[in-house]
A and B are shown apart, each in its own frame.
Chain A
Amino acid sequence: MSDQTDTTPVVALENARKLFGAVRALDGVTLAIAPGECLGLVGHNGAGKSTLVNLVNGGLNLTEGTIRLGAGTASPETSIAAARAAGVRCVFQELSLCPNLTVTENVRIPHRGLTGRGWRRRARAIVAEKLAEIFPGHAIDPGAAVGALSIAERQMVEIAIAFSVFDEPPRLVILDEPTSSLDAGLAEQLLAHVRRFCAAGGAVIFISHMLGEILDIASRIVVMKDGRITEERARGGFDRQGLVDAMGHVAAEGAEDPRAAARSLEGAEVVISTPGGLTARRGEIVGLAGLGGHGQAEALEQICLARSSSWKGTRSPKVAFVAGDRARDGLFPIWSILRNATLSRLPALTRRGLVDRAAEEEMAAEWRRRIGIRTDDMDNPILSLSGGNQQKVLFARALGTSAPVVLMDDPMRGVDVGTKRDVYDMIRAEAAGGRTFIWYSTETEEVCQCDRVYVFRLGRIAAELTGAEITEENILAASFEMEAAE
């Protein structure tokens, strides 16, 4: 760790601007991060958080302004190598490990110095030690291929690699939505580690849409909006409501219990019934809860594949799917936003085999407005959007169909609070109109939006909770129930 008496900022940005064509991704940001500080960074999707991160880690050059790394000189130029040499490490919201390599081999990618005989052994020792330190009791084999790990385990590996000490010790670790795929227990372990790291003089930039975490961990909170820093307060300067207000979204945080009156749908027609015991009625919002990786995603996938055909396309699909793992299950990376949004609806927009392009554009324009996709042109590439906006496109793709059942595979990862509320409202309205939602989520707040919840454990349904029974305590209890019984 760095010298505790050293108060030189690890990174200092002076009036930083970044333009992409006409889009002002970052519009004059001045920010310094001191050793020992945990900076909480919040803002809506597209507020400029990711751009800021990419400037700090050297992935992007500034359009205007300067950046200074450690005791170096202020300069408009930066590079990934310079940032790494200054001890800047980054954990991305979109996991960036190579799935075909083992955990050990992935360690080698950022750490160029790991060469010569026995580098695997050294890499293995380092990552295993760090994993055990941050996530005691984890079950990750450093020799396993990353592709075989669950999304939570991959995130854990990436975090451990970022905090590992090699030739250069980490001085600033940027955590971009690190807990979005971790369950509550793992998130708590990570937060504890961040506290230890900062206490030892390390600096952290912590980006999260989970405001509770930010309020809990950050020694200073910075709110971003439209590429600027709009508010900045030390720890204790914000409460939850204050933070939501500062982010400036019209949809204010609701009352303590965001749940609408629990609806009884006993009499409604059953539209989904699986061999695994999962049922769903017309107009019902069914939640799938439990610890991550216990079969919820697989259950959704089975429902989707069983109710759609790989041989026959249809104008009126029985189910629509909203992917959570966007790169794997959702995005068509070469395509425009428009084509990504319309694909599932396309059969209904086709006449005599040909796509009605006017109708397609109309649908895209309507959903851009309804769900607020931040772009100046729906013909822009899908990858030009921020993660949260890409997610909105996937929502538009599914909700734009006539499917009576919508399956959602933890789709709110990396989506900001304001958008979440908009989507919750949309889901409620659609459900009131008779649509059924089956919703896997790792966030208790979302599960509490549901009419009925199945808690999964070891690939099976462990409990079914209805109405007032849906509480964090009950879900956690059911998640661990069988373990206690064994």
Chain B
Amino acid sequence: MSRPDASAAHPPHRHGDKPVTSLLSILRKPWLWAFIAAGAAFVATAAVTQAGGWGLGMTALTFAAFSVLVGIGQMFVITLGPGNVDLSIPATMTLAGTLALKAMAGDPAMIPVGLAIALASGLAVGVVNYGLIRLLSIPPIIATLSASFLIQSAAIWSNRGLRVKPPQALADFATGRALGVPNVAVVALLVAVLAWVVLERALAGRRVLAIGQNMRAARLAGVPVDAVRFATYVSCAVLAGLAGFLLASFSGGAALNMGAEYLLMSIAVVVIGGSSIAGGNSNVPGIWGASLFMFLIVSMLNSYGAGAGVRMILTGVIIIAIVAAAGGRKVSR
């Protein structure tokens, strides 16, 4: 028999709030492993690639940026506690990209309208998702999965096989760099900083963390549980909309399967980044580390000439190893 809250079973330990222990506290950070792994994959790839370290780094930042945008949204949803996950991210990306590009029709003057449409479609998806979860009491995994069929159908219906090109100025922005850093990476970095502030410093983030640990206690302590969960699902969908808008602009047009790889990616970067899949305990830096890692691991296997099958198997094995190694570090919570 073990006792859940005996003082004896949980020796008090101090957090790293003293200078002496600050190094130790960094070593205990759950996101450290994602960055170590990304660094290792970077070194291994840069050693054999022709493009050189700088080129590889910039490419990694570009592609990681899209994973970061959807990963942050997914992280907040997963933080809400067991059972919370948004499976409609790929469909939302597709819908947002499709509608926005169609509305802009290649006209640079319409770029703000296109962006607004992309974000609004994300907003609508978020409202529908939480409506299904709350009003019909459907588990989030089912609600967002079924919603994604509706969303995907809406995208197909509005697209009708057309491939609209983004306005040239927007395409230039999405593929361009400012001071050598990819623009999309700058956008993702700004979003990440904002997400960090919300999670670590804002009342809203504190409430998300509380709900993830004990929803009933949060409600009784006066946390507006429904409002917080609603806002979280909506934010996740809006971020997916933004990611879809940028990805469609980046790749020269929206495609119906453009979001497909971001379903597992969004969940993988949360887990590899050291956030707890059980909720209540998350971190933003890990999303960046894990997103870079997920891109670099594929680059590494490519540059060593691994075939598609071997690549997928090794990717899976490496992810499991990272999660196992990071998981062992989280005992102290």
The interface of chain A, by Cβ under 8 A from chain B, is 18, 20-21, 23, 25, 46, 50-51, 54, 57, 59-60, 80, 90, 92, 94, 96, 109-110, 301, 304-305, 308-314, 317, 320-321, 323, 326-336, 339, 343-344, 346-347, 350, 353-355, 357, 375-377, 379-381, 383-387, 389-390, 397, 401
Would you give the 0/1 interface string for B58-73, flagging 1 where the beta carbon is closer than 8 Å to chain A? Answer: 0000000000000000
Other than the known A334-B281, A334-B333, A336-B15, what 5 A-B pairs have Cβ atoms closer than 8 Å?
Answer: A59-B3, A320-B222, A332-B210, A354-B202, A380-B12
Instruction: Indicate if the CB atoms of A54 and B8 lie closer than 8 Å.
Output: yes
- Give every chain B residue within 8 A of A379 (Cβ-Cβ): 14-15, 17
Instruction: Indicate if the CB atoms of B226 and A94 lie closer than 8 Å.
Output: no
- Give every chain B residue within 8 A of A328 (Cβ-Cβ): 214, 216-217
A359 CB, nearest partner CB in chain B, Å: 12
Query: Quick one: which of B149-191 are within 8 Å of A by CB?
Result: none
Option from B3, B203, B216 in Cβ contact (under 8 Å) with A355: B203
**A-B contacts, 5 listed (Cβ < 8 Å):** A313-B224, A354-B203, A380-B14, A381-B333, A387-B5
A375 CB, nearest partner CB in chain B, Å: 7
By beta carbon, the residue of chain A nearest B228 is: A313
Instruction: Indicate if the CB atoms of B227 and A51 lie closer than 8 Å.
Output: no
By beta carbon, the residue of chain B nearest A328 is: B216
The answer to the question of B329 belonging to the interface, with a C-beta cut-off of 8 Å to chain A, is: no
Bound state CA distance, A327 and B214, in angstroms?
Answer: 9
By beta carbon, the residue of chain B nearest A414 is: B5
Query: What are the 10 closest A-B residue pairs judged by CB atoms, nearest first?
Result: A20-B11, A384-B12, A386-B7, A310-B226, A313-B224, A332-B213, A54-B8, A51-B8, A321-B220, A350-B203
The answer to the question of B6 belonging to the interface, with a C-beta cut-off of 8 Å to chain A, is: yes
Instruction: Indicate if the CB atoms of B227 and A314 lie closer than 8 Å.
Output: no
Option from B201, B217, B222, B223 in Cβ contact (under 8 Å) with A401: B222
Option from A25, A312, A326, A354 in Cβ contact (under 8 Å) with B5: A326
Bound state CA distance, A25 and B333, in angstroms?
Answer: 22
Bound state CA distance, A390 and B12, in angstroms?
Answer: 13
Instruction: Indicate if the CB atoms of A321 and B11 lie closer than 8 Å.
Output: no
Instruction: Indicate if the CB atoms of B220 and A50 lie closer than 8 Å.
Output: no
Would you give the 0/1 interface string for B209-242, flagging 1 where the beta carbon is closer than 8 Å to chain A? Answer: 1100110111111111111000000000000000
- Give every chain B residue within 8 A of A331 (Cβ-Cβ): 5, 214, 217
The answer to the question of B29 belonging to the interface, with a C-beta cut-off of 8 Å to chain A, is: no
Instruction: Indicate if the CB atoms of B224 and A110 lie closer than 8 Å.
Output: no
Instruction: Indicate if the CB atoms of A354 and B14 lie closer than 8 Å.
Output: no
Instruction: Indicate if the CB atoms of B202 and A25 lie closer than 8 Å.
Output: no
Instruction: Indicate if the CB atoms of B213 and A334 lie closer than 8 Å.
Output: yes
- Give every chain B residue within 8 A of A46 (Cβ-Cβ): 7
The answer to the question of B2 belonging to the interface, with a C-beta cut-off of 8 Å to chain A, is: yes
The answer to the question of B23 belonging to the interface, with a C-beta cut-off of 8 Å to chain A, is: no
The answer to the question of B145 belonging to the interface, with a C-beta cut-off of 8 Å to chain A, is: no
- Give every chain A residue within 8 A of B197 (Cβ-Cβ): 354
Instruction: State whether A308 and B203 are in contact (beta carbons under 8 Å apart), knowing that A94-B3, A94-B5, A381-B10 are contacts in the complex.
Output: no
Instruction: Indicate if the CB atoms of B281 and A323 lie closer than 8 Å.
Output: no
Instruction: Indicate if the CB atoms of B10 and A330 lie closer than 8 Å.
Output: no
The answer to the question of B311 belonging to the interface, with a C-beta cut-off of 8 Å to chain A, is: no
B78 CB, nearest partner CB in chain A, Å: 14
By beta carbon, the residue of chain A nearest B276 is: A334
- Give every chain A residue within 8 A of B333 (Cβ-Cβ): 334, 381
Would you give the 0/1 interface string for B10-29, flagging 1 where the beta carbon is closer than 8 Å to chain A? Answer: 11111101000000000000
The answer to the question of B280 belonging to the interface, with a C-beta cut-off of 8 Å to chain A, is: yes
- Give every chain B residue within 8 A of A336 (Cβ-Cβ): 15
Bound state CA distance, A60 and B9, in angstroms?
Answer: 8
Instruction: Indicate if the CB atoms of B8 and A308 lie closer than 8 Å.
Output: no
- Give every chain B residue within 8 A of A389 (Cβ-Cβ): 7
Bound state CA distance, A327 and B15, in angstroms?
Answer: 23
Bound state CA distance, A113 and B197, in angstroms?
Answer: 53
Bound state CA distance, A443 and B203, in angstroms?
Answer: 38
- Give every chain B residue within 8 A of A18 (Cβ-Cβ): 8
By beta carbon, the residue of chain B nearest A310 is: B226
- Give every chain A residue within 8 A of B221 (Cβ-Cβ): 321, 330, 343-344, 397
Instruction: Indicate if the CB atoms of B226 and A311 lie closer than 8 Å.
Output: yes
The answer to the question of B109 belonging to the interface, with a C-beta cut-off of 8 Å to chain A, is: no
The answer to the question of B128 belonging to the interface, with a C-beta cut-off of 8 Å to chain A, is: no
- Give every chain B residue within 8 A of A96 (Cβ-Cβ): 1-4
Of listed B4, B8, B14, B222, residue having the most chain A CB within 10 A: B222
Bound state CA distance, A334 and B224, in angstroms?
Answer: 20
Bound state CA distance, A23 and B218, in angstroms?
Answer: 31
Bound state CA distance, A310 and B202, in angstroms?
Answer: 19
Instruction: Indicate if the CB atoms of B5 and A390 lie closer than 8 Å.
Output: yes
By beta carbon, the residue of chain B nearest A389 is: B7
Bound state CA distance, A192 and B221, in angstroms?
Answer: 40
Bound state CA distance, A308 and B10, in angstroms?
Answer: 34
- Give every chain B residue within 8 A of A21 (Cβ-Cβ): 11-14
Instruction: Indicate if the CB atoms of B15 and A313 lie closer than 8 Å.
Output: no
Bound state CA distance, A401 and B223, in angstroms?
Answer: 13
- Give every chain B residue within 8 A of A376 (Cβ-Cβ): 12
- Give every chain A residue within 8 A of B206 (Cβ-Cβ): 339, 343, 346, 355
Option from B203, B217, B227 in Cβ contact (under 8 Å) with A323: B217
- Give every chain B residue within 8 A of A60 (Cβ-Cβ): 8-9
Instruction: Indicate if the CB atoms of B8 and A92 lie closer than 8 Å.
Output: no
B307 CB, nearest partner CB in chain A, Å: 43
Instruction: State whether A334 and B13 are in contact (beta carbons under 8 Å apart), knowing that A25-B7, A353-B202 are contacts in the complex.
Output: no
The answer to the question of B204 belonging to the interface, with a C-beta cut-off of 8 Å to chain A, is: yes
A383 CB, nearest partner CB in chain B, Å: 5
Instruction: Indicate if the CB atoms of A332 and B214 lie closer than 8 Å.
Output: yes
By beta carbon, the residue of chain B nearest A379 is: B15
Option from A51, A94, A313 in Cβ contact (under 8 Å) with B223: A313
By beta carbon, the residue of chain B nearest A95 is: B4
Option from A20, A54, A310, A327 in Cβ contact (under 8 Å) with B4: A327
Bound state CA distance, A377 and B201, in angstroms?
Answer: 20
Bound state CA distance, A324 and B15, in angstroms?
Answer: 29
A440 CB, nearest partner CB in chain B, Å: 14
